[in-house]
Amino acid sequence: MNKYSIKRLLGVCLSFALLAACTNGERTETLQSPDGQLSLTTGVKDGKAYYSLARGTEALIHPSNLGFTLKDGPLNGDFRVKDVKRTSSDETWMQPWGEEIEVRNHYNELTLNLEERSGLRRNLSVVFRLFDDGLGFRYFFPEQENLKEFVIMDEETEYALPWDARTWSIPTNGTKYYEGVYTAAPISRKDTVSTPITLEVNDSLYMTLHEANLTDYASLNLTPKGEGETAVTIRAALTPWSTGEKVFATAPFVTPWRTVIVARKPGDLILSRLMLNLNEPCRIEDTSWIEPGRYIGIWWGMHMEKYTWAQGPKHGATTANTMRYIDFAARHGFSGVLVEGWNYGWDGDWTRDGDKFSFTRAYPDYDLKKLADYARQKGLRLIAHNETGGAAVNYEQQLDSAYTLYRSLGINAVKTGYVNPMLDHKELQHSQYGVRHYRKVIETAARYGIMVDNHEPAMPSGLQRTYPNLMTQEGVRGQEYDAWSADGGNQPEHTCIIPFTRGLAGPMDFTPGTFNFTNPVYPGTRVQTTIAKQLALNVVLFSPLQMASDMIENYEGRPEFSFITSCPTTWAKTVVPDAKIGEYVVIARKDRNSENWFVGCITNRESREIKLALDFLDADASYKATLYRDSKDADYENNPYPVVISEQEVNAGTVLNLPLARGGGAAIRIEKI
């Protein structure tokens, strides 16, 4: 046989092999990001659906399995590819509030439509969207004869990582309300962890894994499948119902998006809007009533035991005390006053008997209508506190009556709380049960024109794009731990980590701004920063509703307080000039309503000098910079209070030298001349 005949025979054999593969539904498809840097490969091999991700020639995720275990059997193999659909989109949408005004949504999309080759021949689709800064994918269960109502027992999404990277995360088990300390270790050494998790692979590769558009589903956790020095596979671990099921569903049904942000610098993680882009557009037709702002609260005094939530001789939520706070807020330009402990239900063990809370009936020493009117006359509003003690059904039964009352009084914001790891004494907060409840609250609030600050939430997943009345959420170990935590309070590195972990999930109600670090209740616990760092946190930690945490008497006569009162909470633009996870963060943000910029610089327990180039300013303009910096002898442990305030003229060519004390920071207001 001559060479030509051999080649022809080989070609025929290859054609038959390809035809057989296509007949069996085994097929490989690729997708490129708009800039061509990221590439996705997906398809079916040996009946298993899979995907992989690369940046150029660098593997980011090796081939990883996709699928489910349903209550009536597996839906994770014996697949064939029915067909593939492709599309792309490039649009720009506007945020009513946020870290910038415009968001570009630019992606290429591939939908892999699968069908079982035998048995029930059920259909399942996987939708992939590839952006320049990462990947989002989700499952779609189409309406079909053999899959109507179904129960997901496990989601079998995998991430086969080519390395055992240093990973920042909090453990799922043993962590309440996501209020944990983020620690770094190789992913193989982790137990089950809650997302978002951030992987520090090398000095030019950072990745964050999370989810977007968490709707009628269980919250995502991740579990390493095994140890390995060079490769580790992690797998989805959904938060269960008390009966063991993960998700109850009816086709047609879509899951949340699984998200992978890919960045070359830590700061680029903060600037990614991938998660927001994977949520649905705004469903509130008129958003003019949604007003970001800064507020104070009758709150820190409870932690210091100067006041009580419940009735009694030290009750904090009195008419007289609230009027005092309203007067202070009006003098200093705040938009609202939060009052905790105003309503019936705080007496006794409210974490056990949360169903005794009333959200319309005020204690006798608190005149709700009078105070709402007084606040409105002063140009601000009350923020209604709705602690539920985890009694979700009780809260749902009162939503309409409570929100009707608040709306009639001009109260357009509530802070909700769920201090109980179990909702209604039976279901985990981050289960499908909890996710359904939180969504009902948000949607009901939107109908009544009420903004929500949700404490003890499900981990945020970008829902504020769809419902921008969901202003901010806790789900973070916040400033309150500096009041009573047995470990002494948040360590200086904590706020240098959370912008790259919890902060990537959405706005954080961390509540910075404590000025008095003396703790008469727990003398061994205190704020572990300098005052200058407390100021800087108002820029570094984004929240469109931001509370100045301290009692108002601790702000009197403090000139540095002027930075907090002048600092906006919503922005036109955000840049991250420099950052290193766990060590230091520098963030600059432009005010949405003026030409002014605000800068926050923070460090961990190490002192350092930051060289800040102001090249983000307009090239042809001059500015006045007011700097709030640590004094030369400042130190978070020994001398946290001294702040040096200075002014200088700057422009886009200026480089500022900013010495940061141990646990310190610098805050800068830059006003265009």
Which residues are marked as active site? 480
d(CA 600, CA 412): 30
Contact 63, 160 (CB under 8 A): yes
Extract the runs of DSSP E, i.e. beta strands, from 283-433: 293-298, 336-339, 381-387, 413-417, 422-423, 427-428
At 563 the three-state DSSP class reads helix
Q: What is the enclosing helix (H) or strand (E) of 444? A: helix 432-447
The owner of tokens 């009006």 is 330
d(CA 439, CA 462): 13
In eight-state DSSP terms, residue 362 is B
Q: What is the CA radius of gyration of the chain?
A: 27
Q: At a CB cut-off of 8 Å and minimum separation 6, what does 453 contact?
A: 383, 413, 414, 415, 416, 471, 472, 473, 509, 545
d(CA 112, CA 109): 10
Q: What is the enclosing helix (H) or strand (E) of 482? A: helix 481-484
**Which of 291, 376, 374, 276 minimizes the C-alpha distance to 546?**
291
> Which contacts qualify for 182-190: CB closer than 8 Å, 24 or more apart?
182/494, 182/497, 182/498, 182/501, 182/502, 184/581, 184/582, 186/232, 187/161, 187/224, 187/232, 187/234, 188/164, 188/224, 188/226, 188/227, 188/228, 188/232, 189/227, 190/224
The amino acid at residue 350 is W
Q: At a CB cut-off of 8 Å and minimum separation 6, what does 541 contact?
A: 495, 498, 499, 503, 508, 510, 512
- Return the structure tokens found at 523: 């003398």
**Which of 39, 23, 155, 136 minimizes the C-alpha distance to 81?**
23
On the 0-12 / 13-18 / 19+ scale of CB atoms within 10 A, 54 is: middle
- Helical segments of 286-428, H only: 300-303, 319-331, 368-377, 392-408
